[in-house]
Structure 1
Amino acid sequence: MSKQPLKRHKALIPLSHDHHHGLLLCWKIRMGFSKKIELNRIKRYVDWFYENHIKPHFELEEQHIFPILGNHDELVKKAIAQHKSLIKLFTDNEDVEESLKAIEKELSLHIRFEERFLFSEIQRVATEKQLASLYKSHKEKEFIENTSDEFWL
């Protein structure tokens, strides 16, 4: 029996697209390690991605999506704890190699958790009014890639 792909409400699709780009970041980090790319090159890209994509995405989720379930919900608590852990990893400049490895692993797990569990629950319980408000708060923007150093190619 094959698993059916999850059908997302249009209000959550832009966030799922953000998640896709996050998974591509994980792939780029893996490619950087497999090609033995200088760590500072990978870190520069990861820092750019964090500032331009991760931070705004986390803020949007915490301000507009998580309140649908409430801060006392176990899924929301887990997602917020993962956000905090990831922020620490993204901003760690002490052990760059270990931080990058942890980002690759934890970000992937976090995205899969949100897609499979948190977003599914939000979609299940949210009212049409809440989803319409969410849709208005996050119009999908074209993803702009940083092509100054495509170390993963």
Structure 2
Amino acid sequence: MRSTPVETNALKTLSLEHLQVLQVCENIRIGLKKNVEKDRIRRYTNWFKQEYLDLHFDLEEQHIFPLLGSNVRVKKALANHRRINKLLSCDCDNERVLNLLEEELSTYIRFEERVLYKEIALHATPEDLVHIEKLHDRISFSEDEWQDKFWLP
């Protein structure tokens, strides 16, 4: 294990995306508070899952988490992925499920930022992180592509 983290654009880029995911969570909160039709919010979360989150989770599960081996934090992250996917895959669009989704997703992102990615930076080699950066370049997320901005005034 390295005593100091490796600085790299790969983890910085992923951290910037985490800010975007936290904005998605805020958008869900605003939509619920404004009593936006739940199916509109659900269409947004389905789009988010399909266009970004599935790809992001695959990148983490196949290329980032293996850098840490089988440890308790990776197991927690994988369990979080399963819970988030269950909430996103639920046929229901009720307020409770959307609240749980928002809470689970925002808590998980903070765990990744505060704990998991810091540990990865300590264990990964510069070559590992360059590889992740190349793979990550294939993932693009922009909320601007979504037309129904129900969270705006």
Please, what TM-score do these two structures have when normalized by structure 2? 0.88
2:66 is matched by which residue type in structure 1?
P
Q: Does 1:35 align with 2:31?
A: no
Residues 6 and 122 in structure 2, CA contact (< 8 A), matched pair in contact too? no
- Deviation track 1:7-59 (CA, whole Å, cap 9, x = no partner) reads 96212122112211110110000110111111111111111111111111100
State the match for 1:66 in structure 2: 65
Distance 1:51 1:142, change over 3 A: closer
C-alpha displacement of 1:141: 5.5
The aligned counterpart of 1:130 is 128
RMSD over aligned CA atoms reads 1.9
Aligned in 2, Cα 1:142/1:87: closer, same or farther, shift over 3 Å? closer
Whether the 8 Å contact between 1:37 and 1:151 is mirrored in structure 2 is yes
Question: Would you say 1:121 and 2:111 are equivalent positions?
Answer: no
Structure 2: how far apart are the matches of 1:8 and 1:58? 22
Confirm whether residue 50 of structure 1 aligns to residue 49 of structure 2.
yes
CA displacement at 1:68 relative to structure 2: 0.4
Q: Does structure 2 conserve the Cα–Cα contact (< 8 Å) formed by 1:43 and 1:96?
A: no
Cα distance, 1:56–1:13 mapped onto 2, change above 3 Å? same
Match of 1:82 in 2: 80
Question: C-alpha separation between the residues in 1 aligned to 2:6 and 2:19?
Answer: 15
Separation in 2 of the partners of 1:60 and 1:141? Answer: 9
SS at match of 1:11: helix
Is the contact made by 1:26 and 1:107 (CA closer than 8 Å) also made in structure 2? yes
Number of aligned residues: 147
Structure 2 unpaired stretches of 5+: none
User: Partner letter of residue 59 of structure 2?
Assistant: L
Q: Alpha-carbon deviation of 1:140? A: 6.9
Q: 1:31 to 1:8 in 2, by over 3 A?
A: farther
Q: Tell me if the contact between 1:39 and 1:97 (Cα under 8 Å) persists in the aligned partners.
A: yes
Structure 1 equivalent of residue 22 of structure 2: 23
SS of residue in 1 equivalent to 2:9: coil
Higher relative contact order, chain-length normalized (CA < 8 Å, sep 6+):
2
| Corresponding residue number in structure 2 for 1:139 | 137
